[in-house]
Amino acid sequence: MPRLLNQEQRRILLRFLWERFKIPEEGLAPYDMFAFSRQAFLFKRQSSPIKWPEGAFVRCGLPFLRNVAGFLKPTTVFIQRFGHFAQKNVMELSEEDVCKLCSDGELILKRLPTSVELPGYVIIKLEGHLIGAGLLLEENRLVCRFPKAMRQAFAKLTLQ
Amino acid sequence: MIPFLDLLEAYREFIPDFPDLVDHLKRPLPVYFRLNTLKIGLQEAKSFLFTEGVEFKETVIPELVKVLHHDHSRPLISYHLGYIYPQALSSCLPVLALDPQPGETVLDLCAAPGGKATFMAQKMLDEGFIVANDRKRGRITSLLSNIKRLGITNTLVTQARGEHISLPYSFDKILVDAPCSGQGRYRVDPVTGAVKHVVRGKTNLPAIQKALIKRAFDMLTPGGTLVYSTCTLNVEENEEVVHFLLDKRRAYLTKFEPPVESSPGITVFKDKRYDRQLESARRFYPHKIDSVGFFVAKIVKPGTEKDTS
């Protein structure tokens, strides 16, 4: 069963989103946060506390952060839905770079935008569209963190 | 190979322009994309599709476009960004009939793969509460995947047999898009004349459908609305199931004004007579709407909260 995060646990996740992406707390204020199977979920807050159905429960809400090797990773679906709140560590890539990132799995960037700090996760945009997350490492090495099916799709084509 | 007329001949008496249906079924099913306004505006989504080389035209449902052409060898980025959901026009109709509103509590009893549940979330602006249930684990996977891809946060997914499900909630609105024989999806091979997409099995579908509709009705709040739908033309799986509910429970049908051509439900078929209220149910035939054949009945539970009678 999912566990409703208490105020302190919620604050830790919100602080991560603020410090890494400058996503304001208000953006996620209408949502409860739950932890389930190494992932945190955003669930639209209900007028009364949610009761979990016994024996039938599978999942609730949208996974937004995942614990990867002890670090928090924002999910692709979270970035696509809520990435517009982010004010830093957002990178616009060219079609060619997105294609290369997906086909090779990583990309060496010639230079970084001033609002990007390494190392850590960055939000990747293409022509203004929020795509997903990449992991930016030393020496401007950007590692693709898109889901496999999406990587394959982007590797095959670029937008016309 | 099943001869087409053996399967559908029984419906000739009530399907308007039956020969047109035969011709229509020789053509492939048209493809429609629903645009996910939880992630992107309608105009922006259309522009995006255009840049992807998708030729389309608008439909009577603002969120739905009919695809005229796209290169299937090219993956659609719009799909991976959660901007579109491939969905038949008729599959949107039960949601329009249910008319879910932001803040309501809604159940989709047979939800996988999630086309209708996610459209409901879109109509509700991702506000309120949806329970999306399905009985099969394999189908739950696709349901979860679509909910995630479309960026929905107000939905709880359960896995249970709909006939026996026990939930600690009552619902303002419930959709039972019941498992069915799928006759509305039939296509005819233009060369051999054989029918494609025929569902075979020994399952007693009407028995399951009756159990589902009764269980769903019992979970409605007084004044709540239940929509029963199938993608079959079979009277035993449609009117007879709704008639069963009207016989077993204090329920009544209410009118639904769909945005596409429809025919009234059947009240007399072979030697059987069904409740006259079934004229308020709607039948959608493939050749009339250029999509999958569907049946939709909108049912209200009498009560003080939202009684529209």
Give residue-wise pLDDT tens across range B47-62: 999 999 999 999 999 9
Residue A51 has pLDDT above 90, yes or no: no
> At which residue do the structure tokens 């060219």 appear?
A94
- Residue B74 has its nearest CB partner, among A31, A77, A157, at A157
Contacts of B52 in chain A (CB under 8 A): 159-160
Residue type, B69: H
Distance CA B264, CA B283 (A): 6
Residue B87 has pLDDT above 50, yes or no: yes
pLDDT at B305: 55
Phi, psi of B76 (to 5 degrees): -90, 115
**Scanning every residue of chain A, which has its alpha carbon at the shortest distance from the alpha carbon of B53?**
A160
- Residue A62 has its nearest CB partner, among B129, B153, B166, at B153
Residues 93-122 of A with CB under 8 A from B: none
Q: Would you call B66 helix, strand, or coil by DSSP?
A: strand
Nearest-Å Rg of the Cα atoms of chain A is 17
The sign of the dihedral angle between the CA atoms of B99, B105, B110, B112 is positive
pLDDT at B9: 81
pLDDT at A75: 98
Residue A160 has pLDDT above 50, yes or no: no
Calculate mean pLDDT across residues B35-58.
97
pLDDT (tens digit, 9 = 90+) per residue, B107-146?
999 999 999 999 999 999 999 999 999 999 899 999 999 9
Least confident of B9-13, B75-79, B145-149, B159-163: B9-13
Taking the domains of chain B in order of start, what are their residue ranges? 2-29+89-300, 30-87
Distance CA B4, CA A106 (A): 54
Contacts of A51 in chain B (CB under 8 A): 168-169
Kindly determine whether residue A53 and residue B153, on different chains, have CB atoms separated by under 8 Å.
no
- Residue B80 has its nearest CB partner, among A52, A62, A153, at A153
The catalytic residues of B are: 231
pTM: 0.94
Q: Is the ipTM of this complex over 0.90?
A: yes
Q: Which domains does chain A have, with CATH numbers?
A: 3-66 (no CATH), 89-159 (2.30.130.10)
- Reported as half-sphere exposure (CB side, CA atoms, 13 A), residue A39 has a value of 16
| A158 pLDDT tier (thresholds 50, 70, 90) | low
Share of chain B above pLDDT 70, in %: 94
Distance CA A50, CA B264 (A): 40
The sign of the dihedral angle between the CA atoms of B151, B155, B157, B163 is negative
Calculate mean pLDDT across residues B198-227.
92
pLDDT (tens digit, 9 = 90+) per residue, B152-176?
999 999 999 999 999 999 999 999 9
Say which CATH superfamily domain B2-29+89-300 falls into.
Vaccinia Virus protein VP39 (3.40.50.150)
Q: CB-based contacts of A21: which residues, under 8 Å, 6+ apart?
A: A74, A83, A85, A86, A87, A88, A89, A90, A123
Kindly determine whether residue A53 and residue B155, on different chains, have CB atoms separated by under 8 Å.
no
Nearest-Å Rg of the Cα atoms of chain B is 19
- Residue B158 has its nearest CB partner, among A58, A130, A152, at A58
Question: Would you give the DSSP letter of residue B37?
Answer: T
| B5 pLDDT tier (thresholds 50, 70, 90) | low
How far away is chain A from the Cα of B246, in angstroms, using its nearest Cα? Answer: 29
Distance CA B261, CA B257 (A): 10
What is the edge-to-edge ordering of all strands in the sheet holding A31-36?
Answer: A3-4, A31-36, A39-44, A62-68, A71-74
Kindly determine whether residue B159 and residue A56, on different chains, have CB atoms separated by under 8 Å.
yes
How far away is chain B from the Cα of A106, in angstroms, using its nearest Cα? Answer: 19
pLDDT (tens digit, 9 = 90+) per residue, B240-282?
999 999 999 999 999 999 999 999 999 999 899 999 999 999 9
Which class in CATH covers the domain with range B30-87?
Answer: alpha beta
pLDDT at B1: 47
How far away is chain A from the Cα of B50, in angstroms, using its nearest Cα? Answer: 10
| A11 pLDDT tier (thresholds 50, 70, 90) | very high
Least confident of A4-8, A131-135, B3-7, B226-230: B3-7
Calculate mean pLDDT across residues A90-113.
93
Calculate mean pLDDT across residues B295-304.
94
Kindly determine whether residue A58 and residue B154, on different chains, have CB atoms separated by under 8 Å.
no
Residue B224 has pLDDT above 50, yes or no: yes
Distance CA B68, CA B86 (A): 13
Kindly determine whether residue B53 and residue A160, on different chains, have CB atoms separated by under 8 Å.
yes
CB B196 within 8 A of CB B144: no
> At which residue do the structure tokens 């850590």 appear?
A120
> In angstroms, what CA-CA distances link B277 with A31, A123, B97, B245, B282?
43, 55, 16, 12, 11
| B308 pLDDT tier (thresholds 50, 70, 90) | very low
Q: Tell me how crowded residue B9 is: count the other CB atoms within 10 A of its CB.
A: 11
- Residue A160 has its nearest CB partner, among B51, B82, B156, at B51
Contacts of A80 in chain B (CB under 8 A): 39, 81-82, 151
Nearest to B295 by CA among B247, B250, B237: B237
Most A-contacting residue of B153, B166, B170, B171 (CB-CB within 10 A), to test interface: B153
Q: CB-based contacts of B149: which residues, under 8 Å, 6+ apart?
A: A77, B79, B80, B82
- Does A37 touch chain B if contact means CB atoms closer than 8 Å? no
| B22 pLDDT tier (thresholds 50, 70, 90) | confident
What is the edge-to-edge ordering of all strands in the sheet holding B31-35?
Answer: B55-58, B64-69, B31-35, B84-86
Number of CB pairs < 8 Å for A and B?
A: 95
Phi, psi of B229 (to 5 degrees): -140, 155
Length of chain A: 160
Q: Where are the beta strands (DSSP E) in chain B?
A: 31-35, 55-58, 64-69, 84-86, 105-108, 129-134, 155-159, 171-177, 187-188, 195-196, 220-230, 252-254, 263-264, 268-269, 272-273, 282-284, 294-300
Contacts of B136 in chain A (CB under 8 A): none
CB B75 within 8 A of CB A157: yes
How far away is chain A from the Cα of B71, in angstroms, using its nearest Cα? Answer: 12
Burial of B136 (0-12, 13-18, 19+ CB in 10 A): middle
Kindly determine whether residue B38 and residue A131, on different chains, have CB atoms separated by under 8 Å.
no
Q: Would you call B233 helix, strand, or coil by DSSP?
A: coil
- Residue A159 has its nearest CB partner, among B39, B52, B168, at B52
Distance CA B298, CA B226 (A): 6
Is it true that B2-29+89-300 and B30-87 share their CATH fold?
A: no
pLDDT at A57: 83
pLDDT at B309: 42
Kindly determine whether residue A159 and residue B149, on different chains, have CB atoms separated by under 8 Å.
no
Residue A25 has pLDDT above 90, yes or no: yes
Phi, psi of A131 (to 5 degrees): -105, -55
Angle formed by the axes of helices B115-123 and B89-98, to 10°? 50
Residue B307 has pLDDT above 70, yes or no: no
Calculate mean pLDDT across residues A89-114.
93
Residue A61 has pLDDT above 60, yes or no: yes
> In angstroms, what CA-CA distances link A67 with A30, A37, B270?
23, 9, 62
Contacts of B127 in chain A (CB under 8 A): 44
pLDDT (tens digit, 9 = 90+) per residue, B98-109?
999 999 999 999
Q: Tell me how crowded residue B45 is: count the other CB atoms within 10 A of its CB.
A: 22
| B199 pLDDT tier (thresholds 50, 70, 90) | low
Distance CA B309, CA B302 (A): 8
CB B298 within 8 A of CB B254: yes
Distance CA B209, CA B217 (A): 12
